[in-house]
Structure 1
């Protein structure tokens, strides 16, 4: 960490008007956000009143049409994310977010339009965080998520703010301290549950379950997964926010399976993951590749090396065309787990193919591939 990285980050204060200038500066700042700042901001949106939306006296007048257009463009980009990796999308989404904030910053609008614009920017910031995290740029992703929380809070959209904060919790659970992830995910759920739909509550709860699984809390994870099932069973798709279009029963079961793999309960995990992935479209290559990697790990924990290596090969080949740092991390992890079993023909084939893929990827970056040390789960 450089000296510049250690400089304190100014927490965006509660403002009397829409915080466009603060958001613009916050998104543009390239410094990492400290864990203390993340936790402080995560609490502020629950304890601070949203700003008043005052009509700016100057600037080009914009109406609800711009908010709708931004939301529609975000939805189109979100659906592109179904088929592309973060490496292909993150720069496009980042530019879209910054351009939108810059245009709105100098515009004038009504209170209704102002809140709609803030919500639209919050949705776009969530997507920016998601694809940037998938590209492995976790510090930048954190900033997008937190900026989105600020926008959603100003829009008085607690479920959207909860989605943003729980997305950050999911990232922290994967690459940071699971204890912080549990706190963030808990805060997200508590802050949003009063006005969230059933499906929104389900996704917030399953991210909390994932954080607890990463922490190793078996009892809490199982309890939360039970709550997810109950809440999701009461959901009605027509009443759910558009940004949750992707959530269905298979996605719920896949997250439960991943949690069980993390808890070393492989047999039920194999059942859940196999059934869901049999129905999962190969066109969604990144997601299916990631999920197959968890099925491969479940098989290995269940002492079925042949099945594990076979599924690992499927994950490797399916994800080869997708620019996703997450996918590569999972392949590295599986390679580490399967290396002791290279006396198995399929495991040896996976080791050779994955080595070639990882070397090719690092060749693009002009850096040597890391040695497969440590087997910490991603």
Structure 2
């Protein structure tokens, strides 16, 4: 096994990662797992130089994380944890601190105990050093922010978000970024910022950044909008809070509507005509359940703002 061959395998892994923009973990898990197992078999059976072995171990750690995320996304958390542990071992042997930190971040994301998850996320950020690419620093800090938000730690959440934004600001033109972190940009960070402040029940801080992220994406649909008419919990959908209409509903969805809760104490919103009439109203076209846009950015925006997905 040569260095050139490992480079080819890494490029193949990057191409396969694009499947995550279109498919869920239930569809991709076996594909990613087979790639991981094939590389693991090569390392066991083929002789190579120390440098090539180091590169192959780094690739193995990356593939284990890819398979681990698909396992978690597909409803197999135990398999995901095992793959993250294997990723940590391979990253440590390869001396790849970036992938080691990312493995901790993935593990934190699926840890049920919120305080423990925040501690694991802090360990991921502790792997950052002077050689860590800016995109990786931003990714680890934003995942730390999410873990702190879920744990109800607003000060630490804000600190982590600021560190992530500083990392992106420090990124130099042409700086090499690993493919698994290349999708992290200002828009992604705005989405995560909105998620965190939503989780912490700070709608006045969540709405502006989510709106900015929405404006920066491709043409929004109700399924890809953080303020979808009948979607999952939104920044203003907590019980007891006012639920204003979007600033310009006709501009976003060509739908002259206002938002009202589906029922007392409901965390969901329903899109109603704004005519002021009474009685039972039909859902407007904007809240239909047609297929969502599946562009990579729209897909990522949908999964990020729904609160059920993680960054690949």
Q: Provide the TM-score with structure 1 as the length reference.
A: 0.62
Structure 1 residue 133: deviation in Å? 1.6
Alpha carbons of 1:335 and 1:204: their partners in 2 closer, same or farther (altered >3 Å)? farther
Alpha carbons of 1:186 and 1:114: their partners in 2 closer, same or farther (altered >3 Å)? same
C-alpha RMSD of matched pairs (Å): 3.5
Aligned ranges for residues 87-126 of structure 1 at < 5 Å? Answer: 87-126=26-65
Q: In structure 1, what is the Cα distance between the partners aligned to 2:221 and 2:140? A: 23
Alpha carbons of 1:289 and 1:165: their partners in 2 closer, same or farther (altered >3 Å)? farther
Runs of at least 5 residues in structure 2 that lack an aligned partner in the other structure? 254-260, 274-280, 292-306
Q: In structure 2, what is the Cα distance between the partners aligned to 1:187 and 1:144? A: 18
Structure 1 residue 209: deviation in Å? 1.1
Q: What's the secondary structure of 1:108's corresponding residue? A: coil
**1:220 corresponds to which residue?**
156
Of 75, 90, 109 in structure 2, the residue corresponding to residue 170 of structure 1 is: 109
**Equivalenced residues, count:** 269
Answer yes or no: is 1:190 the counterpart of 2:129: no
Q: In structure 2, what is the Cα distance between the partners aligned to 1:143 and 1:114? A: 22
Answer yes or no: is 1:144 the counterpart of 2:83: yes
Answer yes or no: is 1:262 the counterpart of 2:186: no
Aligned ranges for residues 1-378 of structure 1 at < 5 Å? Answer: 62-172=1-111, 176-236=112-172, 238-239=174-175, 240-281=177-218, 288=224, 297-301=234-238, 303-304=242-243, 339=266, 345=272, 349=283
Q: What's the secondary structure of 2:174's corresponding residue? A: helix
Alpha carbons of 1:195 and 1:89: their partners in 2 closer, same or farther (altered >3 Å)? same
Contact 1:193 1:201 in 2 (8 A): no
**1:44-75 CA distances to partner (integer Å, 9 max, x unpaired)?**
xxxxxxxxxxxxxxxxxx11133112211110
Structure 1 residue 296: deviation in Å? 5.0
Q: In structure 2, what is the Cα distance between the partners aligned to 1:72 and 1:280? A: 27
Q: In structure 1, what is the Cα distance between the partners aligned to 2:208 and 2:102? A: 28
Q: In structure 2, what is the Cα distance between the partners aligned to 1:125 and 1:185? A: 18
Q: What's the secondary structure of 2:22's corresponding residue? A: coil
Q: What's the secondary structure of 1:297's corresponding residue? A: coil
Runs of at least 5 residues in structure 1 that lack an aligned partner in the other structure? 1-61, 315-333, 358-376
Structure 1 residue 90: deviation in Å? 1.3
Contact 2:198 2:206 in 1 (8 A): yes
Q: What's the secondary structure of 1:112's corresponding residue? A: helix
Q: In structure 2, what is the Cα distance between the partners aligned to 1:278 and 1:295? A: 20
Structure 1 residue 162: deviation in Å? 0.7
Contact 2:13 2:63 in 1 (8 A): yes
Structure 1 residue 96: deviation in Å? 1.5
Structure 1 residue 120: deviation in Å? 0.8
**1:104-158 CA distances to partner (integer Å, 9 max, x unpaired)?**
3111111011001001111111111122222222111111112111111111111
Q: In structure 1, what is the Cα distance between the partners aligned to 2:213 and 2:269? A: 29
Q: Provide the TM-score with structure 2 as the length reference.
A: 0.74
Contact 1:165 1:184 in 2 (8 A): yes
Contact 1:306 1:344 in 2 (8 A): no
